[in-house]
Structure 1
């Protein structure tokens, strides 16, 4: 925090920059010049840097008032005037050499040229430093804004997942109340446990593979209460590392789709759900039959939310999601690198 405050203080930043420049110049003089000459040059450093600072800070003012306002012509004229002013200021405090030509004494124009070149170079370097610093700051600010945006999007996605789950479950309970009302108390208790998990996990960035698998088992148990005898459900797990972290509620949409699309009033319905784990990843495979004459409803929130959350939690090669669908069969495979 103190470092951030320091870098926000322009006066301290510039003082540090000038001190660093003085140190570099002094070290160069001491390294390449004889001791007497180096001492003489060191005494002149404050004057020369003070004379150089005037056009530099004038140029900073012009950058903000003209160049950044896209007044390019005025900026060019103002910069030319600053270079001329800086050159004359340098000549006033540090008189150029005088050359005798015949009976006349004239100033050595090479000193004016060197002063102008030095000022132009200083303006160029300080301008590059100014906008490089701005670019770095803008980059980190954009990263911060992007992180905040992703966090906001994630919160919205979690809210949508919760609402989507509750909507589907209430529909299931309605169907259960019509077909098997005696099972409603058990179903309501299971729903309370699922909602409690939803509430707790939505406040966390990660849960464990084991707790998510237990949640899926409870959800499948709740769904099975309303199924008829013509529907067979298999749920198998192979989780040697149940404590590995996992994004919450990421697997539910695929399991929901099995029960949403595989249940027909007649014929044999099958649902197979396999959750397996390796040293580096987790794989969920769902396989369900599709009833004859089934017409899928327009895509809801489940799969779009799943894809969005996969891009956020497991971007790029960290996830692979494939779907194989025929008229009588639907299979989805989700592989994650944890």
Structure 2
């Protein structure tokens, strides 16, 4: 069963209720109500003036304000507002003359038992009524202008928020698209070199790579993935890299047992690990790579990556580290603003390059 579209009719309903309340307040606050018996023509004229106020309200809100005030024509807007008020007053006086309302009101005011005496109460009442009508007209036009301005401000704020969200989503998609091809480009080169050395190891590498590709294709399309899947992906990557390493390279990988599954951004941890393998491995010298994932609590995730630093290697996260690492810093700013800390130490003890990332998930 389809739900009733409440929000679609909410604004018109609010307008009807507000105008109804306004009309009721004009009737109840009328100084003549209950004091004399007014002719029917009085209420006809009041209804006509009320209709003029409604028309002036929406004319100002949907025509004068958008086409003049919002386009920088403030002077013309003031002129149109004054002309609108003048037209309302002239039509009101014209309706009063056409109904001969002034004479009818004088007759009721001077009728026996009315409580009114004196030579000219009708004329004095008419002047007060005209002034009250003018003030009410200006009040209606002022409220109309204020409502239109507030709605414009809210619409602009919502539009800016939507554009900013679209910009962030587009940038994140672009950054993630850059990271994934960068990783697979390096991995395929490694497998190609491995086929010449060890066919069985190459087959195992292809199997591992296919499992990683399934993760990238199907599990990274959403905004977040489970931490257990992300860690499994990193473990597969490390296992794939170890197939081509010699005994001179010592790789240590630790992760929490058991893993507290929390949502994390996909492909967020890999660039730091990839950077260590890219710049922390030497063909002639002993090297060491340490990847440690910790969970001090369910809301905090820590990643520490250390690798041996060689003089000829550029291990800075901002220079010479490839596309992935440069974009990971930007992804952190977009996905976890104010909820992460990234420390890079290029002169860690034992001649190591150290990266420490602390992420507050919730």
SS of the aligned residue for 2:255 comes to strand
Which residue of 2 is the match for residue 59 of structure 1?
Answer: 60
**How far did 1:30 drift?**
5.2
**How far did 1:289 drift?**
0.7
**How far did 1:233 drift?**
0.4
Question: Does structure 1 residue 312 correspond to structure 2 residue 314?
Answer: no
Question: Does structure 1 residue 162 correspond to structure 2 residue 180?
Answer: yes
Distance 1:235 1:32, change over 3 A: farther
Residues 130-166 of structure 1, C-alpha deviations (whole Å, 9 max, x = no match): 2212322332333333333333322222222211111
Residues 271-329 of structure 1, C-alpha deviations (whole Å, 9 max, x = no match): 1110111222111100111123334563421122212222233221x211111012932
Question: Does structure 1 residue 291 correspond to structure 2 residue 310?
Answer: yes
Give TM-score, length-normalised by structure 2: 0.78
**How far did 1:182 drift?**
5.0
Distance 1:278 1:224, change over 3 A: same
Higher radius of gyration, 1 or 2: 2
- 68-77 vs 22-31, which deviates more? 22-31
**How far did 1:126 drift?**
1.0
Mapped contact 1:262–1:290 kept (Cα < 8 A): yes
CA distance in 1, matches of 2:217, 2:273: 19
Which residue of 1 is the match for residue 114 of structure 2?
Answer: none
State the Cα RMSD in Å.
Answer: 3.4
CA distance in 1, matches of 2:329, 2:25: 59
CA distance in 2, matches of 1:289, 1:67: 66
CA distance in 2, matches of 1:240, 1:33: 79
Distance 1:126 1:89, change over 3 A: same
CA distance in 2, matches of 1:179, 1:292: 29
Which residue of 2 is the match for residue 333 of structure 1?
Answer: 356
Mapped contact 2:81–2:141 kept (Cα < 8 A): no
CA distance in 1, matches of 2:36, 2:174: 67
CA distance in 1, matches of 2:36, 2:175: 68
Equivalent residues, number = 329
Mapped contact 1:262–1:271 kept (Cα < 8 A): yes
**How far did 1:191 drift?**
1.2
Which residue of 2 is the match for residue 6 of structure 1?
Answer: 9
SS of the aligned residue for 1:323 comes to strand
What does residue range 39-50 of structure 1 map to in structure 2 within 5 Å? 46-50=47-51
Mapped contact 2:309–2:352 kept (Cα < 8 A): yes
Give TM-score, length-normalised by structure 1: 0.83
Distance 1:58 1:34, change over 3 A: closer
CA distance in 2, matches of 1:165, 1:37: 88
**How far did 1:85 drift?**
1.5
Which residue of 1 is the match for residue 345 of structure 2?
Answer: 324
Question: Does structure 1 residue 230 correspond to structure 2 residue 248?
Answer: yes
SS of the aligned residue for 1:325 comes to strand
Match of 1:193 among 197, 211, 229: 211
**How far did 1:70 drift?**
2.9
Mapped contact 1:239–1:277 kept (Cα < 8 A): no
SS of the aligned residue for 2:261 comes to coil
CA distance in 2, matches of 1:66, 1:133: 16
Mapped contact 1:208–1:242 kept (Cα < 8 A): no
Mapped contact 1:273–1:286 kept (Cα < 8 A): yes
SS of the aligned residue for 1:301 comes to helix
Q: Which consecutive residues of structure 2, in runs of 5 or more, have no partner in the other structure?
A: 107-117
**How far did 1:220 drift?**
0.3
CA distance in 1, matches of 2:36, 2:293: 76
Distance 1:240 1:34, change over 3 A: farther
What does residue range 118-129 of structure 1 map to in structure 2 within 5 Å? 118-129=136-147
Match of 2:89 among 87, 93, 104: 87
Question: Does structure 1 residue 268 correspond to structure 2 residue 286?
Answer: yes
SS of the aligned residue for 1:254 comes to helix
**How far did 1:34 drift?**
10
